[in-house]
Amino acid sequence: MLTLIWLDAQGEVLRRDLQVAPHRVVFCRGAQSVLEISGKATSAQCAAIDVALEVSRVVNFCK
């Protein structure tokens, strides 16, 4: 199983797909990138990833 976190060009989270089964094709219109996390991500892990993405976006904005 995978957890997929879809990002737009600015690094904003567009969508999360939890527990994606093997051999499935999934897409998200408007996504520029996707984070693939093996196994089922917990809500705490998703929240931590959201925080990390936000910090990264702010740091890149300030450059």
* Domain ranges within the chain, ordered by starting residue: 2-62
Encode pLDDT of 7-28 as tens digits: 888 888 899 888 899 999 999 9
Which band of pLDDT confidence, cut at 50, 70 and 90, is reported for residue 39?
A: confident
Distance CA 18, CA 56 (A): 23
CA distances from 12 to 6, 22, 42 (A): 8, 26, 20
Q: In whole numbers, what is the pLDDT of the chain averaged over residues?
A: 84
Q: What is the pTM of this model?
A: 0.73
Predicted local confidence at residue 21, as pLDDT: 93
Q: What is the DSSP letter of 31?
A: -
Predicted local confidence at residue 25, as pLDDT: 95
Predicted local confidence at residue 49, as pLDDT: 81
